[in-house]
A and B are shown apart, each in its own frame.
Chain A
Amino acid sequence: MGLQAVFFYLFAFVAVASAFMVISARNPVHSVLFLILVFFNAAGLFLLTGAEFLAMILLVVYIGAVAVLFLFVVMMLDIDFAALRSGILQYAPVGALVGLIVAAELIVVVGGSVLTPEAAKAITMPIPSPATRTNTAALGDVLYTNYVYFFQVSGLVLLVAMIGAIVLTLRHRENIKRQNISQQVARTPATAIEVVKVKTGQGI
């Protein structure tokens, strides 16, 4: 218990501290990096509670995809973050209100499952104890058997989304300079360098 508590407080403290840094950092790239740290610590917290599948998904999806997307947006789009932040304090009451509502809802949900423990028995697929079967295996047990039809159709939906994104955005435009590696490698000094005698005081 002792070691677990140490790790819990470590992950929790770092998560809260870096979450604060996300909104207070001056450089937006730093904000995104702190966000990645938040995700990472949240994954650690999930791992401590035995939800190793959620921890993996958090790493793969949120850090691997979402945070990288944020980085791209921050670095590629010309957004004036100073202007965006100018009136940040006047939104504080609204932010605090939303935060309070979320906190209240979390308390209701968690409190509900504590007050009526029999509600957990109503679910169709009981969660096996982590000691006997890992989360990932338990999910796989139903996902590839009872729900294989839904799983495959979801795959097709994602395939359509991918084809659609490519169809609508890929353009083979003419007159665009593209890197041609074989051409680059095939260059020799004879074709690439030209020695020009320049008279002093004159251009080429």
Chain B
Amino acid sequence: MTAELLITSLQISTPELILAVGALALLMIGVFSGDKSAPTVTGLAAAIMIAAGLWLVFSPMQGEAWGGAFVLDSFSRFMKVIALIGSITAMIMTVGNARSEQLDRFEFPVLLTLATLGMMLLISANDLIALYLGLELMSLALYVVAAINRDSLRSTEAGLKYFVLGALSSGMLLYGMSLVYGFTGNTGFDNIAAVLTAETRSLGVVFGLVFILAGLAFKISAVPFHMWTPDVYEGAPTPVTAFFAAGPKVAAMAIFVRIVTDAFMPVFADWQQVVVFISIASMLLGSFAAIGQKNIKRLMAYSSIGHMGYALVGLASGSETGVSGVALYMLIYMVMTLGTFACIMSMRRKEGAALESVDDLAGLSSTNPFMAVVLTALMFSLAGIPPLAGFFAKYFVFVAAIEAKLYALAIIGVLSSVVGAYYYLRIVKVMWFDAANGEFARTAGELRLVFGISGLFVTAYVLFGGPIGLAAEAAAKAFF
């Protein structure tokens, strides 16, 4: 690697360098000043992520770096900005509840920063090895933060379960990668695409492709690799769950899109059927399994499984509209989820006990009308009711599916979102028509800010959604 190449590579990956060096500096600050520095470290971590995000938005650098292993294009920039926003918001949301959830340790923001770095590397991965390393960096940090409340049996169980199943999925991913490498002789996405053709593809490549998709489906918690999601969502401390639902999902979906559209586009027919299957299975399971849930975190887990299914509808079409639909879907999904989790984190009694049951929301319209209105908007949006943001997210992916003549997929999607609307509307019913059984404690300012902005976003999306849609379309142009 010559000096100029090295300098270009460093310039292209500057946001990642900011995060990496920043995480190490934060670790030093934390180690030398102990756990009392946790709030400072959290603030600095958010500042570092904001700096990386600003650099990402304003830097003109674009292209491949590190010998083609890392790529910064319009798609990775769009997804990275979403993932960064998600991580920053989720981290700010932890501040108020840090003490009661036993998250007031300086390692927590450091691990979140490193997990975010993993997401960024994952989104930019343009090589099988880079993909695996980014994924492991993200996942390892997430396993630890899932179990960070060691005194809680449920939290440690969630961490262990996530770790064991995550290791299994990494194994499948690596096995698939080794097969793909063996049958194509390359690890770079561009090189794999160059040697693959639909006519001459060997069975080994298809095997490898299926294993890779299985490993990635695990990370986005698509059916049939979703089993960990409800348990981990329920067991992990709520701020950690909010973090899980935001950035990591975006990053895993981004690499899912990149690997199939970049490396495996020549064998489109082979992966399309896999994506269609996991998409239908996720939508149906997400709609039906959530109906019986009493715990709102478990309900959100099934909701996220369903939403990943809807996002995959766009990918199944394999077209530019489809990919831009996926990008837009992930953005809107993340905003809705963070808003909902901000509401869930506000569900605590004055004595400090955190509540997680749907029934605890009863009578929220009389005790806390602002939160009730916002949560209602978010639920309507998650259900996909116009004119809220969630409707547009679903609209674009279904339009892409219809353009690609995937009528069955689109019809099943619409029908399952009707089923899904039931459990979102049940929450609305509990809030507005059931008798109140106690008031919540005063909501922390940052949580009110987050669900306020999120509520504003979903209701006003119809007014200002144009530029965001254009940005998503520009992002999808990176592949076509």
Residues of A within 8 A of B (CB): 122, 145-146, 148-150, 153-154, 156-157, 159-161, 163-164, 166-168
Beyond A153-B121, A153-B130, whether A163 also contacts B27 by CB under 8 A is yes
Please list 10 pairs of residues, one from A and one from B, whose beta carbons are closer than 8 Å in the complex, sorted by A's number.
A145-B1, A148-B66, A156-B117, A157-B133, A160-B114, A164-B141, A167-B107, A167-B111, A168-B144, A168-B147
DSSP majority for the B interface?
helix
Residues of B within 8 A of A (CB): 1, 9, 20, 27, 65-67, 69-70, 105, 107, 110-111, 114, 117, 121, 129-130, 133-134, 136-137, 140-141, 143-144, 147-148, 150, 159, 185
Min C-beta distance of B8 to chain A, whole Å: 13
Chain B residues whose C-beta falls within 8 Å of the C-beta of A164 in the assembled complex: 111, 140-141, 143-144
Min C-beta distance of B61 to chain A, whole Å: 16
Chain A residues whose C-beta falls within 8 Å of the C-beta of B110 in the assembled complex: 163
Closest CB pairs A-B (n = 10): A164-B144, A149-B66, A153-B133, A167-B107, A160-B140, A145-B1, A157-B137, A160-B141, A157-B136, A160-B114
Q: How many pairs, one residue from A and one from B, have CB atoms within 8 Å of each other in the complex?
A: 61
Beyond A150-B133, A154-B133, A167-B107, whether A160 also contacts B121 by CB under 8 A is no
Docked-complex contact A149 and B144, CB < 8 angstroms: no
* Chain A: CB-nearest residue to B27: A163
Cα(A146)–Cα(B187), bound, Å: 14
Docked-complex contact B1 and A163, CB < 8 angstroms: no
Docked-complex contact A161 and B140, CB < 8 angstroms: yes
Cα(A168)–Cα(B148), bound, Å: 7
Min C-beta distance of B388 to chain A, whole Å: 38
Indicate which residue in A156, A166, A168 contacts B137 across the interface (CB closer than 8 Å). Answer: A156
Chain B residues whose C-beta falls within 8 Å of the C-beta of A150 in the assembled complex: 69, 129-130, 133
Indicate which residue in B9, B66, B137, B159 contacts A160 across the interface (CB closer than 8 Å). Answer: B137
Cα(A157)–Cα(B20), bound, Å: 11
- Known contacts A163-B27, A167-B148, then 10 further A-B pairs from the complex at CB < 8 Å, ordered by chain A residue: A146-B1, A150-B130, A153-B121, A153-B134, A160-B141, A163-B144, A164-B140, A164-B144, A168-B144, A168-B159
Q: Which of B105, B110, B134, B140 neighbours the largest number of chain A CB atoms within 10 Å of its CB?
A: B140
Min C-beta distance of B155 to chain A, whole Å: 11
Docked-complex contact A149 and B140, CB < 8 angstroms: no
Cα(A159)–Cα(B70), bound, Å: 21
Chain A residues whose C-beta falls within 8 Å of the C-beta of B27 in the assembled complex: 163
Chain B residues whose C-beta falls within 8 Å of the C-beta of A156 in the assembled complex: 20, 114, 117, 137
Chain A residues whose C-beta falls within 8 Å of the C-beta of B185 in the assembled complex: 122
Min C-beta distance of A51 to chain B, whole Å: 23
* Chain B: CB-nearest residue to A163: B107
Min C-beta distance of A25 to chain B, whole Å: 33
Beyond A148-B1, A154-B133, whether A168 also contacts B140 by CB under 8 A is no
Chain A residues whose C-beta falls within 8 Å of the C-beta of B69 in the assembled complex: 149-150
Chain B residues whose C-beta falls within 8 Å of the C-beta of A148 in the assembled complex: 1, 66
